[in-house]
């Protein structure tokens, strides 16, 4: 009997030790915050699939395209499937590339591909575009500004959690699109290019 | 009973092993959490003072001399630690590590701004050796004329940095003077013809290339300015070659430019877009940066005056990357004058002065503008841009704008 009691006690201590060990392992494995960004961007696709299986609710967003009349950006409404921020932001940029449905003008070269888009927890959206975006022959200051700010303003306007936008080309930082606008720093939205 | 003791021992051993590993992993490098350490040692010899900076991994660095400091910039690091031994040196006052938003700065302060240095570096393991030498007879601190403060370019390109190293320590006037006739107070204007070489810029419907138009206008402006014998002119390119954007800013800063004017022809998806536009820099500043910039705008004055101050503030160094931020007011004034002249002379549609985050302007340490003369993507304006007459008119208008600006800022 006495032996049994002490055996139980020891088992309990052993159990407590194991739990502590388990907690330590968990903390160690999941503690690193920086890694999180990667996980989020990977799970984006999975979330979307899950969303589609259940029920697709649509969400209205505002896109900014160029007007041939005044050279300013004008709004155009669009419906996109409601999802997580990465997928929604992705849909916005893809719609911008696809171009306007009303009388406005497309800004981004039509053969450009959106390679990757993810939003960090502190509100910086990385938009990674294919190299075709740099291969336009209309890249004077105005042409470049229109491309950059149609993306930056459309994202910042629709998503409160996006504070800044960084443009990447083929996964890399690039100095400019065509020799003018500096891409090396993230952009804050500039709504002065939008018609009032 | 014995069995339990064995079990206990095993568990305790496992725990010790495990915790040892944790502290090993968090304390020292491996993976994302690694914080590189740089070791710095200082050694005086009769010849020079040697600073050895070593670190395990391959570090990307830039070197800049600024007044009485030599700054080593380490870019794109998430963390950096400094390990240094106590030292006494006849040349070096202190060595400290500072952090800017994008980089770590190792600031080596010397007792006098009149020093020269040489550097050599080795990759993997990283080692940077600096040899600092005071100019003879400058052991004590002197007040130096503003002229000798080198306007080192705030540029990132490696090629450019080499040239900085070569010039550092030389009196600026000796290296940079164009000729014997340069008067001390002669203004220097740097003209930057946009694009060049394989970077053709925008292209018109008739095949006109922006890079050709910008060079033609720039040459005409140069002639026009030199005709008056009042100003010195430096071109960032005078033939059809590629010039990196930060190199263009470096040309302005190395030549102690008083004005920087970048000439472009505009492009848009809209064929009917027309008119001339004059831009000055807008800052894509993050919150932290804008606070810093606000500080400089409120404490305005010329940047070199500030750099000459005795209590050299480390913060100011960081600004070399965005030198133009100190000149925004003057730049907008210059833009007003130039745009006004363009409107008057050319009767082009007024598109007003604008702000944009243009790469070529960010590093320029003087008033700087970018002029979009007309739209090359507009067939009518493209024809105009090809004509010599129009190009001369533009040059005349730009010249008028510069003159107006200088008149305003000329001291009696």
Q: How far apart are CA A116 and CA A120, in angstroms?
A: 13
Do the beta carbons of residue B198 and residue B242 sit within 8 Å?
yes
Nearest CA in chain B to A9: B4
Nearest CA in chain B to A163: B286
Better pLDDT: B272 or A25? B272
User: Exposed/middle/buried for A166, CB within 10 Å: 0-12, 13-18, 19+?
Assistant: middle
CATH numbers and ranges of domains, chain B: 34-144 (2.60.40.3500), 175-409 (3.40.630.40)
The 8-class DSSP code of residue B142 comes to -
User: Which member of A21, A34, A140 has the closest CB to residue B376?
Assistant: A140
Better pLDDT: B290 or B56? B56
Q: How far is CA B242 from CA B145, B199, B200, in A?
A: 36, 7, 9
Q: φ and ψ at A70, to 5 degrees?
A: -115, 0
Question: Is the pLDDT confidence value at B157 over 60?
Answer: no
Q: What is the pLDDT of residue B26?
A: 43
User: Exposed/middle/buried for A30, CB within 10 Å: 0-12, 13-18, 19+?
Assistant: exposed
Question: Is the pLDDT confidence value at B352 over 80?
Answer: no
Give whichever of A28-42, B34-48, B188-202 has the largest mean pLDDT.
Answer: B188-202
* A71 C-beta neighbours (distance < 10 Å), count: 21
Residue corresponding to tokens 């009769």: B46
CA distance A15 to chain B (A): 11
CB contacts < 8 A, A to B, total: 119
Q: What is the pLDDT of residue B76?
A: 59
- Beta strands, E only, chain A: 58-66, 73-81, 114-119, 124-129, 164-169
Residues 6+ apart with CB under 8 A from B218: B191, B192, B193, B235, B263
* B306 C-beta neighbours (distance < 10 Å), count: 17
CA distance A89 to chain B (A): 21
Q: Which one, of B51, B58, B209, lies nearest residue B119 by Cα?
A: B51
- Domain spans in chain A, listed from the N-terminal domain onward: 1-31, 36-193
Q: What is the pLDDT of residue B17?
A: 55
CA distance B354 to chain A (A): 10
SS3 state at B399: helix
Q: What is the pLDDT of residue B9?
A: 60
SS3 state at B9: helix
Rg from Cα positions in chain B: 27
Whether residues A180 and B356 touch (CB distance < 8 A) is answered with yes
Which range has the worst mean pLDDT, B15-19, B265-269, B360-364, B371-375? B15-19
Whether residues A142 and B266 touch (CB distance < 8 A) is answered with yes
CA atoms within 13 A on the CB side of B236: 30
Question: Is the pLDDT confidence value at B294 over 60?
Answer: no
Average pLDDT over residues B68-79: 76
Q: How far apart are CA B178 and CA B201, in angstroms?
A: 30
Contacting residues of B for A185, CB less than 8 Å apart: 284, 286, 357
Q: Is the ipTM of this complex over 0.90?
A: no
**3-state DSSP percent of chain B in helix, strand and coil, to 5:** 40, 25, 35
Question: Is the pLDDT confidence value at B139 over 50?
Answer: no
Which range has the worst mean pLDDT, A46-50, B7-11, B171-175? B171-175
User: Which member of B33, B265, B284 has the closest CB to residue A140?
Assistant: B265
Residues 6+ apart with CB under 8 A from B275: B348, B349, B350, B351, B374, B375
Percent of chain A with pLDDT over 70: 84
Question: Is the pLDDT confidence value at A98 over 50?
Answer: yes
Question: Is the pLDDT confidence value at B305 over 80?
Answer: no
User: Which member of B32, B210, B268 has the closest CB to residue A32?
Assistant: B32
Average pLDDT over residues B245-259: 91
Q: How far apart are CA B319 and CA B292, in angstroms?
A: 9
Whether residues A181 and B360 touch (CB distance < 8 A) is answered with no
Whether residues A21 and B18 touch (CB distance < 8 A) is answered with yes
Would you state the structure tokens that stand for residue B43, as one six-digit string?
């050694």
A146-157 pLDDT, tens digit per residue, is 999 999 999 999
Average pLDDT over residues A119-138: 93
- Beta strands, E only, B88-219: 92-99, 103-110, 115-122, 126-134, 187-193
Whether residues A17 and B7 touch (CB distance < 8 A) is answered with no
Q: What is the pLDDT of residue B373?
A: 94
User: Which member of A10, A68, A137 has the closest CB to residue B272?
Assistant: A68
Give whichever of A118-132, B120-134, B306-320 has the largest mean pLDDT.
Answer: A118-132
Q: Residue A5: pLDDT band by 50, 70, 90 thresholds?
A: low
User: Exposed/middle/buried for A158, CB within 10 Å: 0-12, 13-18, 19+?
Assistant: buried
Q: How far apart are CA B32 and CA B16, in angstroms?
A: 24
SS3 state at A28: helix
Do the beta carbons of residue B344 and residue A133 sit within 8 Å?
no
SS3 state at B183: coil
A150-184 pLDDT, tens digit per residue, is 999 999 999 999 999 999 999 999 999 999 999 98
Contacting residues of B for A138, CB less than 8 Å apart: 202, 267-269, 377
Would you state the structure tokens that stand for residue A168, as one six-digit string?
């990447």
Q: What is the pLDDT of residue B405?
A: 93
Question: Is the pLDDT confidence value at B181 over 60?
Answer: no
How do beta strands B368-375 and B259-266 pair?
parallel
Q: How far apart are CA B282 and CA B357, in angstroms?
A: 5
Q: What is the pLDDT of residue B147?
A: 36
Better pLDDT: B54 or A109? A109
Question: Is the pLDDT confidence value at B155 over 60?
Answer: no
Q: How far is CA A100 from CA A5, A39, A138, B186, B405, in A?
A: 78, 33, 18, 54, 43
């Amino acid at each position: 009997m006495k032996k049994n009691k002490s055996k139980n006690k020891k088992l309990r201590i052993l159990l407590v030790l194991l739990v502590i060990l388990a907690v330590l392992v968990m903390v160690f494995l999941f503690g690193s915050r920086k890694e999180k960004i990667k996980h989020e961007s990977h799970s984006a696709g999975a979330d979307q699939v899950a969303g589609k299986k259940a029920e697709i609710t649509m969400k209205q967003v505002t896109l900014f395209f160029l007007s041939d009349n005044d050279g300013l950006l004008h709004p155009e409404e669009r419906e996109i499937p409601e999802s997580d921020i990465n997928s929604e932001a992705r849909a916005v940029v893809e719609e911008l590339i696809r171009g306007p449905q009303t009388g406005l003008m497309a800004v981004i070269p039509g053969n450009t591909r959106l390679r990757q888009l993810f939003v960090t927890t502190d509100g910086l959206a990385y938009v990674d575009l294919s190299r075709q975006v740099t291969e336009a022959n209309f890249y004077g200051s105005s042409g470049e500004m229109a491309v950059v700010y149609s993306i930056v303003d459309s994202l910042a306007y629709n998503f409160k959690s996006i504070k800044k936008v960084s443009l990447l080309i083929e996964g890399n930082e690039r100095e400019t699109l065509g020799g003018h606008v500096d891409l090396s720093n993230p952009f804050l939205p500039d709504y002065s290019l939008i018609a009032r | 009973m014995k069995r339990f003791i064995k079990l206990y021992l095993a568990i305790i051993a496992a725990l010790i092993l495990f915790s040892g590993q944790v502290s090993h992993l968090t304390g020292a490098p491996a993976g994302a959490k690694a914080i590189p350490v740089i070791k710095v040692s200082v050694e005086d010899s009769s010849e020079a003072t040697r600073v050895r900076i070593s670190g395990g991994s391959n570090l990307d660095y830039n070197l800049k001399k600024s007044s009485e400091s030599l700054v080593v910039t380490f870019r794109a690091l998430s963390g950096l630690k400094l390990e240094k031994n106590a030292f006494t040196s006849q040349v070096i006052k202190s060595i400290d590590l500072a952090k800017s938003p994008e980089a770590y700065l190792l600031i080596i302060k010397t007792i006098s701004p009149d020093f020269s240095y040489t550097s050599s570096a080795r990759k993997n393991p990283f080692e940077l050796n600096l040899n600092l030498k005071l100019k003879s007879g400058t052991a004590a601190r002197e007040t130096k004329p503003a002229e000798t403060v080198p306007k080192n370019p705030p540029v990132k390109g490696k090629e450019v940095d080499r040239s900085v190293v070569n010039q550092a320590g030389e009196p600026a006037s000796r290296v940079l003077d164009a000729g014997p006739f340069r008067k001390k107070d002669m203004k220097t204007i740097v003209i930057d013809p946009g694009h060049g070489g394989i970077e053709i810029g925008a292209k018109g419907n008739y095949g006109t290339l922006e890079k050709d138009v910008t060079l033609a206008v720039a040459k005409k402006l140069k002639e026009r300015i030199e005709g008056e014998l009042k100003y010195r002119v430096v071109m960032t390119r005078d033939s059809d070659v590629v010039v990196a954007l930060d190199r263009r800013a470096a040309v302005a800063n190395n030549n102690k430019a008083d004005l920087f004017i970048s000439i472009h022809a505009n492009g848009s998806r809209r064929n009917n877009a027309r008119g001339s536009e004059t831009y000055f820099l807008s800052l894509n500043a993050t919150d932290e940066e804008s606070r810093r910039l606000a500080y400089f705008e409120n404490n305005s004055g010329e940047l070199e005056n500030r750099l000459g101050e005795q209590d050299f503030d480390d913060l100011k160094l960081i600004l070399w990357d965005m030198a133009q931020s100190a000149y925004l007011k003057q730049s907008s004034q210059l833009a007003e004058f130039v745009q006004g002249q363009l409107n008057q002379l050319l009767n082009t549609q007024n598109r007003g002065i604008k702000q944009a985050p243009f790469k070529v302007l960010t590093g320029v340490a003087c008033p700087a503008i970018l002029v979009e003369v007309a739209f090359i993507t507009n067939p009518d304006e493209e024809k105009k841009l090809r004509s010599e007459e129009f190009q001369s008119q533009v040059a005349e208008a730009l010249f008028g704008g510069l003159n107006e600006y200088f008149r305003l800022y000329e001291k009696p």
